[in-house]
């Protein structure tokens, strides 16, 4: 194998064949002699140093190539790892999405009532497990939906039914296709989140869908609501009222448009916790829950003022409501009086006169003898809701209250 020699060694070998080159070599020899080296050893050392430099350069180049190769290999491995991680995450997401049908959000709201919560704006197909009862485990059981036989027939004590979007219903089980009723399960569907209500009307952003009032501070209150025209057939499934985990008994109105409740733990006591009432309304298979939270002091509305009359043609007087708290000197009311033009209602926004008084009487000094006198009351200390208006119509000498 040929030996590669550095450039300085080549110049020394050729110094014996030419004068100029020999002179160059002799000068170098003289220089080396000054430091104690022979010319041959100096050339050998020079060649050795050149070989070392060449070897170092080669090693450096090889190291650079190795680093580049290692860098490319590391980058390739990193890309593969990231791709693998992406595929794992994508697979997990798809599995989670597909698991919604296998793990539905089903809650037992009350006896024989299951609530299926489905995401709003997304089509859903969910299987729900139903059981007729442990007592019928080894007996022939036939199922119906909303009173009609299922096609194909559904048999067995434990079955699965498919609920597509909002199409659910009442499932009953029987001894035979037309046999004795055994049990039932109503499946209702509630959107999640439940913020797109269609069953009850919202009276105002402040009052919401449920309006509550109390005639005094004895704990009795009434809440009411109004169905939308398109859901006039909606029914009340359940009403829950409580104050700090203590249940409050309620009785539903005959027309299903309100409820009367009695809180027996808060008579004349300072309220530390609010009252929460939730009304569950359903129309066909759709379920909506409406909740209102309040303090009793915020909904106390005095009853309409009784015994409104006029004396001496100008002095109007009235009495405290019979349902108001006694003594009246402790549970004080304040009164808003208003005089509007004859033929106008008490809600007219352009009255002739308007004032507030703490006395149960008010004198009207007006030249006109044709007007309507109006008065209503509210709790002086809480400035809660006003009572409904009481009024007298004055038409010359004729007064009608």
Residues 215 and 187 in one domain: no
Residue 64: inside a domain? yes
Highest mean pLDDT among 24-33, 65-74, 241-250: 241-250
* Residues 94, 111 share a domain: no
Do residues 30 and 67 both lie within one domain?
Answer: yes
**Domain count of the fold of the chain:** 4
Q: The pTM is what?
A: 0.69
Question: Residues 89, 1: one domain?
Answer: yes
Q: Are residues 66 and 125 in the same domain?
A: no
- Would the pLDDT of 57 be above 60? no
In this structure, the answer to whether residues 324 and 281 fall within a common structural domain is no
Q: Which residues contact 351 (CB under 8 A, 6 or more apart)?
A: 338, 339, 340
| 368 close to 394: Cβ distance less than 8 angstroms | no
Residue 76, pLDDT score: 63
pLDDT tens digits along 370-394: 999 999 999 998 888 999 999 999 9
Task: Indicate whether 206 belongs to any domain.
Answer: no
Mean pLDDT score of the chain: 79
Q: Are 47 and 5 in contact (CB under 8 A)?
A: yes
> 99, 116, 138 — which closes off a domain?
99
Q: Check: CB of residue 285 under 8 Å from CB of residue 189.
A: yes
Given a contact cutoff of 8 angstroms between Cβ atoms, the answer to whether 275 and 214 are in contact is: no
Q: Which of 245, 273, 299 is the C-terminal boundary of a domain?
A: 299
Q: How many helices (H) and strands (E) does the chain have?
A: 4, 24
Q: Do 315 and 375 sit in the same domain of this protein?
A: yes
* Last residue within a domain, chosen from 65, 99, 133: 99
What's residue 104's pLDDT?
63
Dihedral sign for Cα 340, 346, 348, 353, please: positive
Give the 3-state secondary structure of residue 15.
helix
Examine the domain organization and report whether 62 and 139 are in the same domain.
no
Structural domain range at position 8: 1-99
Comparing 5-19, 128-142, 256-270, which segment has the lowest mean pLDDT?
5-19
Residue 362 lies in a domain: yes
């Amino acid at each position: 194998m040929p030996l590669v020699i550095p450039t300085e060694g080549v110049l020394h070998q050729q110094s014996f064949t030419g004068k100029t080159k020999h002179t160059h070599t002799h000068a170098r020899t003289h220089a080396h002699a000054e430091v104690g080296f022979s010319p041959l050893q100096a050339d050998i050392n020079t060649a050795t140093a050149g070989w070392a430099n060449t070897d170092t350069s080669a090693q450096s180049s090889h190291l650079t190539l190795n680093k580049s190769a290692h860098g490319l290999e590391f980058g390739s491995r990193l890309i593969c790892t990231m791709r693998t991680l992406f595929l794992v995450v994508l697979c997990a997401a798809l599995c989670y999405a597909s698991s919604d049908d296998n793990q539905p959000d089903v809650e037992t709201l009350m006896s024989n009532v299951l609530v299926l919560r489905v995401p709003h704006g997304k089509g859903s197909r969910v299987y729900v497990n139903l059981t007729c009862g442990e007592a019928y485990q080894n007996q022939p059981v036939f199922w119906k939906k909303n009173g009609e036989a299922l096609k194909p027939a559904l048999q067995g004590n434990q079955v699965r039914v498919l609920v597509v979007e909002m199409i659910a219903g009442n499932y009953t089980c029987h001894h035979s296709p037309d046999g004795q009723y055994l049990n039932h399960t109503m499946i209702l569907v509630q959107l999640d989140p439940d913020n797109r209500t269609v069953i009850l009307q919202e009276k105002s952003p402040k009052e919401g869908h449920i309006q509550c009032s109390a005639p005094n501070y004895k704990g009795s209150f009434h809440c009411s609501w109004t169905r939308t025209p398109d859901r006039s057939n909606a029914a009340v499934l359940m009403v829950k009222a409580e104050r700090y985990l203590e249940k409050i008994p309620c009785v539903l109105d005959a027309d299903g448009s309100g409820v009367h409740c009695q809180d027996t733990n808060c008579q004349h006591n300072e309220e530390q916790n609010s009252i929460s009432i939730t009304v569950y309304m359903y129309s066909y298979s759709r379920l909506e829950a409406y909740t209102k939270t309040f303090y009793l002091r915020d909904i106390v509305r005095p009853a309409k003022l009784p015994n409104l009359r006029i004396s001496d043609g100008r002095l109007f007087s009235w009495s405290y409501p019979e349902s108001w708290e006694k003594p009246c000197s402790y549970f004080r009311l304040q009164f808003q009086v208003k005089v509007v033009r004859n033929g106008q209602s008490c809600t007219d926004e352009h009255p002739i006169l308007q004032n507030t008084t703490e006395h149960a009487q008010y004198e009207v000094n007006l030249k006109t003898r044709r007007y309507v006198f109006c008065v209503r009351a509210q709790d002086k200390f809480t400035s809660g809701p006003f009572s409904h208006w009481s009024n007298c119509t004055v038409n010359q000498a004729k007064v009608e209250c």
